[in-house]
């Protein structure tokens, strides 16, 4: 009998209607829940009087097999106890996806062991190349680097799978047998392989529509030294309802013109769904193997 994969989908902010609360990732939640053998729990951060989230701060004591941390906050999304709980969870062999956005959105991730160092921000852990510490997207001057312009919300971007193609980007049912398109965003963040990290690599790159610069979209971490697998993602907009279906709406502070790529070519969304499926099963197998195949998926 195939085991059940228990996944947590969690934001780093308390619920605020006019913000990126977990309800704005409902299409992701629905897709996760539709996968064979997967149970998904969704929640926003709910700090207690001591400022700690009761789930994240004790995540290692939970029954979850993997956690998807959507860092949508402005620098203060995790308490020290929350970060420690997530790190213990990962250190005990369970899977993590951690994603953020431009400038300092989600920089609380820097406090996480191992995977936190893959995330580069404006004021914390900037990219090592000084030439990259400059604005890429200049259409929204209020947003500073890192802000790689992969396209408009509602459009999709063509991605480059880094050879050899990682299992997270393999998709035999899709044309070409791999994932070629992901949701676009006007200002993506920056991810890279941490210094002295031997068991991680950039698996996908995007290309800026503003400057032509290539940038890392995702870093995959293999299991090692007790740590489970992990994925560091450049933007939570790869998973947001607004980027999968522009009609789902967005917070009022989003001012950029939306695109209509997915409206014109809805079949392109199959790549994003396949990517989510790959991540889900891959994270749940800290020592290798193919859970999707084992479960008949």
Mean pLDDT of successive 10-residue stretches along the chain, which has 297 residues:
89 98 98 98 97 98 98 95 98 97 98 98 97 96 97 98 98 96 98 96 98 98 97 98 98 97 98 98 71 36
pLDDT score, position 285? 87
pLDDT score, position 104? 98
pLDDT score, position 297? 33
User: In this structure, how many other beta carbons lie within 10 angstroms of the beta carbon of residue 291?
Assistant: 21
Q: What is the pTM of this model?
A: 0.95
Question: Structurally, how many domains does the chain consist of?
Answer: 1
d(CA 136, CA 195): 24
pLDDT score, position 294? 34
Q: How many CA atoms lie within 13 A of 254 on its CB side?
A: 19
d(CA 277, CA 34): 10
Contacts of 239 (CB under 8 A, 6+ apart): 25, 28, 68, 70, 99, 183, 272, 276
pLDDT score, position 287? 54
Q: Which domain holds residue 277?
A: 5-128+135-294
pLDDT score, position 3? 85
Q: Which domain CATH number covers 21?
A: 3.40.50.880
Question: Backbone phi, then psi, for 84, in 5-degree steps?
Answer: -65, -40
pLDDT score, position 75? 80
Q: For helices 269-283 and 26-34, give the axis angle rounded to 10 degrees.
A: 60
Contact 37, 2 (CB under 8 A): yes
Nearest to 270 by CA among 160, 132, 178: 178
């Amino acid at each position: 009998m195939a085991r059940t994969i228990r996944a947590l989908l969690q934001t780093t902010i308390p619920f605020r209607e006019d913000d990126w609360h977990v309800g704005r990732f409902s299409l992701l939640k629905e897709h996760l829940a539709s996968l064979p053998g997967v149970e998904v729990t969704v929640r926003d951060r709910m700090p207690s009087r001591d400022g700690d989230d009761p789930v994240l701060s004790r995540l290692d004591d939970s029954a979850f097999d993997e956690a998807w941390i959507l860092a949508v906050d402005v620098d203060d999304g995790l308490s020290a106890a929350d970060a420690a709980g997530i790190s213990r969870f990962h250190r005990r062999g369970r899977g993590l996806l951690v994603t953020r956005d431009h400038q300092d959105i989600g920089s609380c991730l820097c406090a996480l062991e191992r995977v936190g160092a893959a995330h580069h921000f404006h004021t914390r852990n900037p990219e090592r190349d000084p030439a990259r510490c400059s604005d890429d997207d200049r259409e929204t001057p209020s947003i500073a680097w890192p802000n790689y312009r992969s396209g408009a919300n509602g459009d999709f971007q063509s991605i480059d799978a880094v050879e050899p193609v990682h299992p997270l980007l393999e998709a035999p049912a899709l044309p070409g047998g791999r994932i070629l398109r992901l949701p676009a965003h006007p200002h993506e963040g920056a991810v890279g392989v941490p210094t002295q990290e031997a068991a991680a690599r950039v698996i996908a790159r995007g290309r800026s529509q503003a400057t032509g610069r290539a940038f890392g979209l995702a870093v995959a971490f293999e299991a090692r030294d007790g740590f489970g697998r992990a994925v560091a993602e450049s933007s939570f907009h790869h998973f947001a309802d607004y980027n999968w279906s522009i009609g789902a709406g967005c917070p009022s502070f989003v001012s950029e013109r939306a695109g209509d790529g997915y409206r014109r070519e809805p079949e392109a969304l199959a790549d994003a769904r396949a990517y989510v499926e790959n991540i889900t099963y891959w994270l749940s197998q800290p020592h290798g193997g193919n859970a999707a195949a084992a479960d008949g998926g």
